[in-house]
């Protein structure tokens, strides 16, 4: 099973790479016909990625969400899922052109991690692990998409001089709205992640909140997005500044994810 996972993982990387190239040609050379092809390849990559995660789960005899490798590949999976949904829902293939490099970076990061299957330490042996991490994957995926949308928003005016982008990138108001939808999806799931994490910590460590760096940074992230939501409501902050805040939020997400494990050891630093 783990061998199958390995093979699938390689194919998934290739497919994601291929879809990234197709998206790139689509926007750089304005080849409209390639947009559906890029989406199809991304969707195929997603399907095989799902299969790879299932193989890993079966092979390891548990949910594939417990170490850096597994979380990184799941993160890429979540980002792929949310971006596919947003591309389809808002008929917005240019989003794929911006999200596929981020996806590829994350799956590349996964490829660099150790793929060993290790036994779980007792505190990780809990049903809450599944709820906690799977909601985090969706939250991170949604925040990844909002980051990409923020970048598109900020680059929009420079991009839309030609007719191609005018046609393929929604106007500012719509972009802001789509970004808001992705932040709200992320915010809801991040809150889920924090709540399930707190319930689990209460069972495993006897304390639902202990200000460990990972917890603290997820709270910082949560507050940054709360600030985004309020600034956006105030009107004046719509648009450019809100986009800057959404991008900043994702920087916090990435710091919570990678930075904390690297620089700020605490009880969360497994793996």
Partner 1 sequence: MRFAIGIIVVLAAVCAAGSFITQGQSFDWYAARYSERIAGLIIALGLDDIFHSPGFVVLSAFLCADLIFCNISRVKQLSARYRAEKDPARAFDGVPQVSASGIADPLQIFKKLGMGEPVKIEPSAGLLTSEEGSGSSANNERAGLSSTKKGLGLFASKNAAGLWGAWVCHLGILLLIAGFALGQFTKSEYTVYGVPGQTKPVGDSGYELSIDDFRIELSGSGSVSQYRSDIRVSPVGGGEGSPSGRPASISVNHPAKLYGMKFYQNSTGWAAKITITKNGELLQQDWLCAGEFVPVEDMPELVIYYNAFYSGPTLAPAGPETAAEDIETPAYLYTVYYMGQILGMNVLIGDEPLIIDDYVVTFTEPRPYTLIQVKKDSFTGLAFAGGIVTLLGLALAFYVQPSRVWAYEEEGSWTVCGSSPRGGRIFEESFLRAAEAAKGEAAQGCADREGREGEAVPSKSVSEREEDHAQG
Q: How far is the CB of 64 from partner 1 (least distance, A)?
A: 18
> Is residue 101 packed enough to be buried (19+ CB in 10 Å), middle (13-18) or exposed (0-12)?
middle
Rg (CA), the chain: 19
Q: How far apart are CA 110 and CA 119, in angstroms?
A: 19
Q: How far apart are CA 221 and CA 101, in angstroms?
A: 23
Q: How far apart are CA 222 and CA 209, in angstroms?
A: 15
Q: How far is the CB of 171 from partner 1 (least distance, A)?
A: 8
Q: Which stretch binds ligand HEM (CB under 6 A): 50-58, 152-160, 204-212, 222-230?
A: 222-230
Tell me if 30 contacts partner 1 by CB under 8 A: no
What is the per-residue DSSP string for 94-125?
HHHHHHHHHHHHHHHHHHHS-----PPPGGG-
Tell me if 229 contacts ligand HEM by CB under 6 A: yes
Tell me if 230 contacts ligand HEM by CB under 6 A: yes
* Site mask for ligand HEM (CB under 6 A), range 170-209, x = bound: ----------------------------------------
Q: Which stretch binds ligand HEM (CB under 6 A): 34-42, 91-99, 103-111, 229-237?
A: 229-237
**In the complex, which residues of this chain contact ligand HEM (CB under 6 A)?**
223, 226, 229-230, 233
């Amino acid at each position: 099973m783990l061998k199958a996972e390995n093979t699938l993982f390689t194919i998934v990387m290739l497919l994601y790479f291929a879809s990234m190239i197709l998206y790139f040609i689509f926007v750089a050379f304005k080849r409209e016909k390639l947009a559906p092809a890029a989406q199809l390849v991304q969707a195929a990559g997603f399907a095989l990625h799902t299969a790879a995660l299932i193989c890993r789960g079966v092979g390891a005899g548990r949910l594939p969400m417990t170490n850096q490798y597994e979380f990184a590949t799941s993160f890429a999976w979540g980002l792929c899922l949310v971006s596919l949904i947003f591309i389809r829902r808002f008929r917005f293939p240019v989003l794929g052109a911006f999200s596929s490099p981020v996806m590829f970076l994350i799956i590349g990061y996964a490829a660099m991690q150790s793929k060993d299957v290790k036994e779980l330490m007792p505190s990780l042996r809990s049903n809450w692990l599944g709820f906690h991490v799977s909601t985090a994957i969706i939250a991170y995926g949604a925040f990844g998409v909002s980051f990409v949308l923020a970048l598109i928003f900020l680059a929009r005016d420079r991009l839309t001089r030609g007719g191609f982008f005018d046609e393929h990138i929604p106007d500012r108001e719509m972009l802001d709205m789509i970004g808001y939808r992705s932040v709200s999806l992320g915010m809801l799931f991040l809150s889920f992640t924090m709540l399930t994490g707190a319930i689990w910590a209460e069972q495993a460590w006897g304390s639902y909140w202990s200000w460990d760096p990972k917890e603290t940074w997820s709270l910082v992230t949560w507050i940054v997005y709360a600030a985004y939501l309020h600034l956006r409501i105030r009107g004046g902050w719509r648009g450019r500044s809100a986009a800057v805040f959404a991008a900043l939020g994702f920087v916090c997400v990435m710091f919570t994810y990678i930075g904390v494990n690297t620089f700020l050891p605490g009880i969360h630093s497994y793996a």
